[in-house]
Amino acid sequence: MNVLWSYLWPALGLGVIFGVLAGAIGFRIPRGASNDPEQAIAVPESRRKRVIAIGAGVALSLAGTAVWHGPLGGAERFSGRVERDLHATLVYYEMTQVSAHLHEDPLTRRVLLSGAADDFQRSELKRLIEQIPGVRSASWSSDGGGLPLIAEGCAVSLAGFLLGLLLAYLVELRRRYNAQWNW
């Protein structure tokens, strides 16, 4: 279970989808628009349309990521899987007096360890817990939580949005190139 496949793929997919849609709307130049001074009115209008389409796409991709994180339960599923793996690891290494939980409020990928263990056990448990997929770091203190999981999702969604914009731009370039061959 990788954090990309278990939590971030819907955010990436939403970003790509909204990027392609926003780019398809925003990069489309009205028919007949050119560099003529007589048609200078059409250029600011198309620029405004482009900014509105791209801004709406960014807002929708971030809103979709927030909905995936909260109401659709992506964060709960992710934390459930990681906590189950944490518990299985502690049982496997017979460290039942130690507990491990993901940092919450806001949910991050940092694991908080607590319980009775000597110095060697503490260092080795920290190393072993950090190898569990989906865990960024582990510590025995509750100082700071790190980057929230929803912020990671939003960053991946924006990266997907930029990828979608690039794809839409390439499709629009091809459309413009092929438009010159209409006889």
Phi, psi dihedrals of residue 146, rounded to the nearest 5°: 90, -165
Angle, alpha carbons 157-159-160 (nearest 5°)? 65
CATH of domain 83-139: 3.30.1340
- Global confidence as pTM: 0.81
User: pLDDT by residue for the chain (183 residues), tens digit each?
Assistant: 577 777 889 999 999 999 999 999 988 866 555 555 555 555 577 788 889 999 999 999 999 999 999 898 889 999 999 999 999 999 999 988 999 999 988 888 899 999 988 889 899 999 999 999 989 889 988 777 788 999 999 999 999 999 999 999 999 988 888 877 765
- CA separation for the pair 49, 29 (Å, rounded): 10
- The domains of the chain are located at 3-28+42-73+149-179, 83-139
